Copies of this chain bind each other. A is one copy, B any other.
Amino acid sequence: MLTSILLSAGLALMGAGIGAGIVAIGAGLGIGRIGGQAMESIARQPEAAGKVQTAMLIIAALIEVVSLFAVVVCLLIALNAGGLTF
């Protein structure tokens, strides 16, 4: 049984690491698209730069919250699985 606990911790840590990586892909795709279009919008209407930037931050913050929450979940898995056997 102890054997399985330990093997289990390895699988858990593997999932936590890969999961943290996939979170970064999600944040990059989402915030990257928002930011890219915001750059184009500011260049097209420089006088609207303030409005574009405000909206950009509000919507990007939504992705940021989910991403940070997901990374924290991976961190908790890493700490818990690490605290169990290591």
How many residues in A have their beta carbons less than 8 Å from beta carbons of B?
A: 84
Copy count, this protein chain: 3
A interface: dominant SS: helix
Whole-angstrom distance from the CB of A60 to the nearest CB of chain B? 5
The reply to whether A40 and B42 contact each other, CB–CB distance below 8 Å, is: no
| A23 neighbours in B (Cβ, 8 Å) | 20-21, 24, 26, 66, 70
| Neighbouring B residues of A12 by C-beta, 8 Å | 9-10, 13-14, 17, 81
CB nearest to A83 among chain B residues = B86
Q: Collect the chain B residues with CB atoms within 8 Å of residue A63's CB.
A: 24, 27-28, 31-32, 35, 62
A79: which B residues are within 8 A, CB to CB? 76
Q: List 10 A-B contacts (CB under 8 A).
A: A10-B11, A16-B77, A18-B21, A20-B71, A24-B24, A26-B29, A31-B32, A34-B36, A35-B60, A53-B55
